[in-house]
Amino acid sequence: MSDPDRMGCFLLGARVHDHVADMEVAVEEMEEAKDDSPLGADAAKWFGDLVRQVRRELDEAESLNCLPDDVRILFQSVEHRSGHPMDRSAMETLHTLSVKLGDPPLLRNLRRAVTSRHGEKAPEP
Amino acid sequence: MADEGDADQRLRCYEYGATVQAELHFAERTIESIETRASAPDEVLVLPDAEVRVDKSSIMEIHEETLNSHLERAVDALENGAFCGLPSHTIEAVGDAYAEIKRQVREGNYTLARMNVNKLRARLRHPAVEFG
């Protein structure tokens, strides 16, 4: 396989997850703007634009055979809710998609800090 | 049609790219948390299984450690993904920015640190990265 294909996959992964991170921000803005319809509408439009953008990027990744199955499935779940109010389950799915490839160390660090203060074994996350 | 080895490499490249962006995003959010904590009083941290009082300097320390973890993971993903063909100057830029961001946070220049993380995110999603 040539380098451009591998780099294309790398950049698609970067772009998709950058946009997914923005989708989380858009959802937060939609929530904050509950009583302010113009701002809420702007955030909803941004969210919708991001969904379409990510869909195009995922299609491109699929055509390069580098789209992980679980990313496709998680995104479909979010995509089906686009245009509808985001319920807790949809928010959790979006967050799962956002953190899927990372291992957020915040909770682990907090647990370690507590363990060192109490001399106890920290519960596993 | 890609063979099994190629397909695996493509998937790994996608995942390395995604990991870099996810970690930079978390780094940005962590700097926001540090910024918020910096102006907050001491508080009680509630964890699922314990309630403990942790002073502000400890919380800041934990957040800074978290920030470093995110930045280190972003650098690791970039270095591990070197076979994906990303320009070496992009990999070096992230390594350089890592030290700079850590210093800015230590000195309380949170806005500047966030801007630098954001610039890295933009650099990785911009097509210019493909052409150096």
pTM beyond 0.90:
no
Where along chain B do its domains lie?
A: 4-131
Task: Give the model confidence (pLDDT) of A76-108 as tens digits.
Answer: 877 776 655 555 566 666 666 665 544 444 444
The H or E element containing residue B53 is: strand B50-54
Please check the confidence at residue B67 and state whether its pLDDT lies above 80: yes
CATH of domain B4-131: 1.20.120
Question: Which of B8, B11, B13 best probes binding to A when mutated, by most A CB atoms within 10 angstroms?
Answer: B13
From residue B10, alpha-carbon distances to A2, A4, B62 in Å are 10, 11, 35
Q: How confident is the model at residue B132 (pLDDT cuts 50, 70, 90)?
A: very low
Mean pLDDT calculated for residue range B17-40: 86
Which of B30, B73, B125 lies at the smallest CB-CB distance from A15?
B125
Where along chain A do its domains lie?
A: 3-118
Task: Give the model confidence (pLDDT) of A28-67 as tens digits.
Answer: 787 787 666 787 788 888 888 888 898 999 999 999 999 8
Alpha-carbon gap: B7 to the closest alpha carbon of chain A (Å): 6
Q: ipTM of the predicted structure?
A: 0.79
A68 → chain B, closest CA residue? B11
